[in-house]
Amino acid sequence: MLPTLIRRELLDNLMTFRFAAALFIMLLLVVANTAVLIKDYERRLADYNTAVKKHQQKLQERDIYSPGFAGVVLVRPPNPLSIFNVGLDKRLGSEIGIRPSGAPTLWEARMHGSANPLLNLLSSIALGFIFEVVLSLMALIFAYDALAGERERGTLRLVLTNAISRGHILLAKYISAMTCLLVPLIISLLFALILLTNSAAISLSADDFLRIGGIVLASIAYLSVFYLIGFLISAITHRTSTALMLAMFVWGFLVLVYPNMILATIKTSDVPQERAVSALNQMKQIWEQFDRERNRFLAADAFPGEDQLFNIKEPWGFGYDEYYENALTLFAEYDRQLNFQGIDEKYQPNVPHLQNYHRFLIPLTIRTADRVWLIRKEALVDTLVRQANFKRTLLKLSPAGIYDAATQAWTGTDLSGIRDFFDAARQYRKTVMTWFDDKDAFAAREWFLSDKREADWSTLPLFSFERRSVEINAKRALPDVLLLLMTSLVLFMGIFLLFVRSEV
Amino acid sequence: MVWHIAKRELYEHLNSLRFGLTTLLLLALMLTNAVVYLREHPKRVQKYHDAVTNARNALTAQADNLYVLAQKGPGAFYKKPSPLQFCAEGGEAFIPDVVNTNSWQWRTDALKSFWRLSYPSITPNLGNIRPDVTKVDWGFIVGYVLSLIALLFTFDAIAGERESGTLRLMLANAVPRHAVLLGKFLGAFLSILIPFSIAVLMNLLVLSTSRSVHLTAGEWERLGIIFLIALLYTSIFLALGLLVSARVQRSAVSLVILLLAWVTFVVFMPSTLASIAGGFSAPMSTAELRERRSQLREALEEPFEERYGRRFLSEKQTEVSPKMQAQGDYVMKDAQQQERLNQERLTEQIAQVQGARNVTRISPVAIVQHLIEAFAGTGFERHLQFLENVHAHARQFREFVIEEDRRDSESLHVIGVPTGMSQKRVEPGAIPRFEDTLSLRRDFNTAAMELLVLVLFFIVLMSGAYLAFVRVEIG
């Protein structure tokens, strides 16, 4: 009996104007936007390549080792799947320098140059957003008259006079409508994939296809939730016009209004004060200890006086040693920058002392920075990250928010995905520091002074960033997808209970 | 007659579910808007005042020496936040609110480079990891929510009556069809006007109870204009709803068509078209900029070094020598060339955005958002106005320096060289003050075209609806 019912419903749905309209609009929007998004991605890739080249060139030209305004700079590549959901990929910093005095985090990252930053004014719409808006609307349009319409026309009574269980009727309606809704989704996605694979700039790996599969899964779950919301409305109302009105307002509220309103009403305090202050104090204490240790060293060494620059005055270049703090991003570092092209002859005897000092100081800086990072990491998670995640959780009260989070997790443009890059950057910092250490670069003259010998960067290990494997994406995305499926299930049960008890 | 039908329609709407939901939704949005604005605007104003004061203090500190003042320049220029920012947020996160002036030391020598305007290209607040959403401003409420509501009020205006058979009854009386159409339009218009006005009034009431917000007469005028624009925009969507409703037999089909049209024109069209149009022209890339910058500098340096050698004069001069003159020219020309280059790049960038924005005028929502931005004094047009103010002030400042130098009889009047210029103290109060201003007249000039397009949209759709309705057969 069930197959017959499904076939009836399917034919009913497929032959409608709304199905044709849904297919047409999805194709139009997805194809047009994919072309735009590919172009946008190519632009960003070009910007990325320019930045990488610039930094490589600058590094080769750099004749001292110590990192300052220039040095080893890592650039975050654009994510090709950002076409599906751009997430934070475009918005967060995309280049970060490697320093001994601190672990790189996204809060210190800068944005590499782009030809026209004003273009960000014109928001581009990712494919996930099209699905989010259009599919949910389509689902409601397919659902609002599913029961109310039959009740109005009286066909519901006719159907129920046969020996058919009510559950089967619901299931048949659900399955057939979902099939109909999937057709535009799948076809438009196929077109998008054809465009994507034809683009020279984008090369999708097998993992990427799995991720896209994950996005499809999330889309189906999302579709199902909205269909069932419409279905529920249809079950509780007696007239289609009421059902339609209610459905439209529910849609407007969940997709358009709620996400924007909830974030605006929730007050954003900058960093919970106490936690941040205590962490900053802890970090400051560690740096003070560092300062005491180095002063002890300076007092004990052979050179008279405790001057950080060993009395070298007016070098051709610059040198300073200062403590910086930023309470907003919990940043605390001793920044020591020396970059001398040459110094006066009479200071030459001081140079070996300075070298000797660096042999002690830089490893100490690195160790201290590592300890500071342990504190900062915790504090950042407790303050900034938790606050942001709380907002994301609030967004998840709307299915649109859950869907958005799920697709971001699949594409790897969510906060965790971006933080992966900075994890890799921190790993690479260790590599670079070990490389310095192996070369004995800290104690070298060319750590800060380039008059006799110049730094040799040729053997520096290269940095490459690989996105985390698809399992990690799945681990991050599946809770949200499951949440959508659970919501579907609950909605379906609710509809079933209502429908079984309802009088015709 | 028209009024009679309109009244009937209005009563019908007032009793309906959609009226109640509309009122609730608009009220919630408008109150959110007011609360958020009251929370954020004082911070914005404070930040602006602090920045301006700091810049002024830095400038006063340089006033001890005319040369230093002329070399370091007028400091940073800050954009004044508009008090009407609750109407249109205007892409605040993507448009810089400052123009910098910078200069640097060339060699460790006696000559310093002079200031030039530079346009920061940063996206502010890179550390913001919070999810981003559209700001709930009037532009959003009108552009997205109100247009959707307008469609929901009209999609069944004619198709629904046809379905229920009442259309035939009504037309059996001696009622001209245009009266029916107009009555329906007015009825729907009034039943949106009521909740919208209530919501706007509540919004303004909340705003005016706060002490931190003072709106001047000019600003109330602007608010009035924005309100009228919102109504015009709503009318467009009402007319569209009537048009489709008259053409289509069933109200369900009418709604599907309208919703899809809405999604295409309101949600997707503006950004998609803008992205396509943005691809047409490519402004100077950062690599190219760096390249040209160093080219210019080399072209300037070579002839100078050939004639005068690598070193600049540093000792005190008592009379103008050709070398000194050449040095002054060198410094001024460098500043001029580099600034022109910066400006060229900025112009290209602006042209690209401008082109993209022109293309989006196909979509009424883009027009209405531009218009609200223009009258609220935020967004892109406002940024252009700010840049114009900055350029005017930069010219004024340069003239001021020359004027001051001319007044000093001991000076050799070679601008750009420390020993060739007056090193006297300047009265800090005499230094021109940068005043960022907004003028409504200019706004109206740019806006008039867009207003006309909106009116055109309305006329076309309304006459379309009339023609469609006149030809309708009632079978």
pLDDT above 60 for B109: no
CA-nearest residue to B35 within chain A is: A265
Which of A448, A332, A320 has the alpha carbon at shortest distance from A380? A332
Cβ contact B275–A111 (<8 Å): no
Nearest CB among B152, B259, B276 relative to A137 is that of: B259
pLDDT tens track for A301-352:
877 777 777 777 777 777 778 888 888 888 888 888 888 888 888 888 888 8
Cβ contact B129–A259 (<8 Å): no
ipTM of model? 0.83
Contact predicate A43/A131, CB 8 Å: no
Looking at residue B212, its pLDDT comes to 78
Which of B287, B26, B9, B311 has the alpha carbon at shortest distance from B148? B26
* A340: enclosing H helix or E strand: strand A331-342
pLDDT more than 90, % of chain B: 29
Look at residue A409 and tell me if it is in a domain.
Answer: no
Looking at residue A147, its pLDDT comes to 84
**Do strands A95-97 and A73-75 pair parallel, antiparallel, or not at all (unpaired)?**
antiparallel
Looking at residue B309, its pLDDT comes to 74
pLDDT above 60 for B463: yes
Residues 79-108 of A with CB under 8 A from B: 88, 91-93, 106-107
pLDDT tens track for A268-279:
665 567 888 899
Q: Which residues of B touch A92 (CB under 8 A)?
A: 126-127, 129
Nearest CB among A116, A130, A391 relative to B352 is that of: A116
Q: Which residues of A touch B21 (CB under 8 A)?
A: 245-246, 249
- Kindly state the average pLDDT of the residues A117-138: 84
Nearest CB among B152, B263, B286 relative to A245 is that of: B152
Looking at residue A65, its pLDDT comes to 87
HSE (side-chain half, CA atoms, 13 Å) at B262? 30
pLDDT tens track for B49-102:
999 999 999 888 888 888 888 888 888 899 988 889 899 888 777 788 888 888
Q: Which long-range contacts (CB under 8 A, 24 or more apart) does A187-193 make?
A: A187/A23, A187/A26, A187/A27, A188/A26, A188/A27, A188/A29, A188/A30, A188/A31, A189/A30, A189/A127, A189/A216, A191/A27, A191/A30, A191/A31, A191/A34, A192/A30, A192/A31, A192/A34, A192/A83, A192/A127
- Residue A222 banded pLDDT, cuts 50, 70, 90: very high
- Residue A204 banded pLDDT, cuts 50, 70, 90: confident
Looking at residue B270, its pLDDT comes to 82
- Kindly state the average pLDDT of the residues A28-37: 89
Closest Cα of chain A to B275: distance in Å?
6
In this structure, of A93-102, A368-377, A445-454, the range with the lowest mean pLDDT score is: A445-454
**Rg of chain B (C-alpha set):** 30
Give residue A497's domain range: 2-29+128-267+479-501
**How far is Cα B419 from Cα B414, in angstroms, rounded to an integer?**
8
CA-nearest residue to B356 within chain A is: A122
Looking at residue B395, its pLDDT comes to 92
- Kindly state the average pLDDT of the residues A461-485: 92
Question: Could you tell me which residues come within 8 angstroms of residue B227 by beta carbon, excluding any fewer than 6 positions away?
Answer: B200
Q: Which residues of A touch B279 (CB under 8 A)?
A: 36, 39
Look at residue A207 and tell me if it is in a domain.
Answer: yes
pLDDT more than 70, % of chain A: 98
Q: What angle do CA B303, B308, B312 make, to 5 degrees?
A: 110
Mutate to test the interface with A, among B256, B263, B354 (most CBs of A within 10 A): B256
Looking at residue B317, its pLDDT comes to 65
Q: What average pLDDT does the structure give for chain B? A: 86
Looking at residue B443, its pLDDT comes to 67
Look at residue A311 and tell me if it is in a domain.
Answer: no
Cα B223 → chain centroid: 16
- Residue A407 banded pLDDT, cuts 50, 70, 90: very high
Look at residue A403 and tell me if it is in a domain.
Answer: no
pLDDT tens track for A368-406:
999 999 999 999 888 888 888 888 899 999 999 999 999
Q: Which residues of B touch A184 (CB under 8 A)?
A: none
**How far is Cα B144 from Cα B141, in angstroms, rounded to an integer?**
6
Which tops the pLDDT comparison, A478 or A119?
A478
Looking at residue B303, its pLDDT comes to 84
Closest Cα of chain A to B430: distance in Å?
35
pLDDT above 90 for A190: yes
Q: What average pLDDT does the structure give for chain A? A: 87
**How far is Cα A503 from Cα A465, in angstroms, rounded to an integer?**
62
Residues 102-121 of B with CB under 8 A from A: 108, 121
Looking at residue B361, its pLDDT comes to 84
- Kindly state the average pLDDT of the residues B406-415: 82
Looking at residue B284, its pLDDT comes to 82
pLDDT tens track for A131-144:
998 889 999 999 98
Does the beta carbon of A21 lie under 8 angstroms from any beta carbon of chain B? Answer: yes
Task: Tell whether the torsion through CA atoms of A437, A439, A443 and A447 is positive or negative.
Answer: negative
pLDDT above 90 for B195: yes
Torsion over CA of A428, A434, A439 and A441, rounded to 10 degrees? Answer: 80
Which tops the pLDDT comparison, A307 or A192?
A192
Looking at residue A488, its pLDDT comes to 95
Looking at residue A270, its pLDDT comes to 55
- Residue B314 banded pLDDT, cuts 50, 70, 90: low
Where are the domains positioned within chain B?
1-475
pLDDT above 70 for A69: no
- Residue B202 banded pLDDT, cuts 50, 70, 90: very high
Does the beta carbon of B148 lie under 8 angstroms from any beta carbon of chain A? Answer: yes
pLDDT above 60 for A179: yes
- Residue A432 banded pLDDT, cuts 50, 70, 90: very high
pLDDT above 70 for B105: no
Look at residue A15 and tell me if it is in a domain.
Answer: yes
pLDDT above 60 for B30: yes
Number of domains in chain A: 1
* A321: enclosing H helix or E strand: strand A316-326
Q: Which residues of A touch B350 (CB under 8 A)?
A: 118
How many residue contacts between A and B have a Cβ separation below 8 Å? Answer: 194
Cβ contact A114–B286 (<8 Å): yes
Cα B162 → chain centroid: 45
pLDDT above 80 for A119: no
Does the beta carbon of A145 lie under 8 angstroms from any beta carbon of chain B? Answer: yes
Look at residue A396 and tell me if it is in a domain.
Answer: no
Cβ contact A120–B123 (<8 Å): yes
Looking at residue A456, its pLDDT comes to 87
**How far is Cα A455 from Cα A449, in angstroms, rounded to an integer?**
9
Look at residue A35 and tell me if it is in a domain.
Answer: no
Looking at residue B266, its pLDDT comes to 86
**How far is Cα B291 from Cα B285, in angstroms, rounded to an integer?**
10
Looking at residue B20, its pLDDT comes to 92
Looking at residue A79, its pLDDT comes to 92
Closest Cα of chain A to B146: distance in Å?
11
In this structure, of A193-207, A312-326, A449-463, B459-473, the range with the lowest mean pLDDT score is: A312-326
- Kindly state the average pLDDT of the residues B249-276: 85
pLDDT tens track for B207-253:
988 887 888 888 898 999 999 999 999 999 999 999 999 988 888 88
Tell me the CA distances in angstroms from B187 to A319, A356, B18, one per residue in order: 75, 87, 14
State the alpha helices, DSSP H only, in B360-419: 364-376, 379-407
Tell me if the pTM is above 0.90: no
pLDDT above 70 for A7: yes
Does the beta carbon of B99 lie under 8 angstroms from any beta carbon of chain A? Answer: no
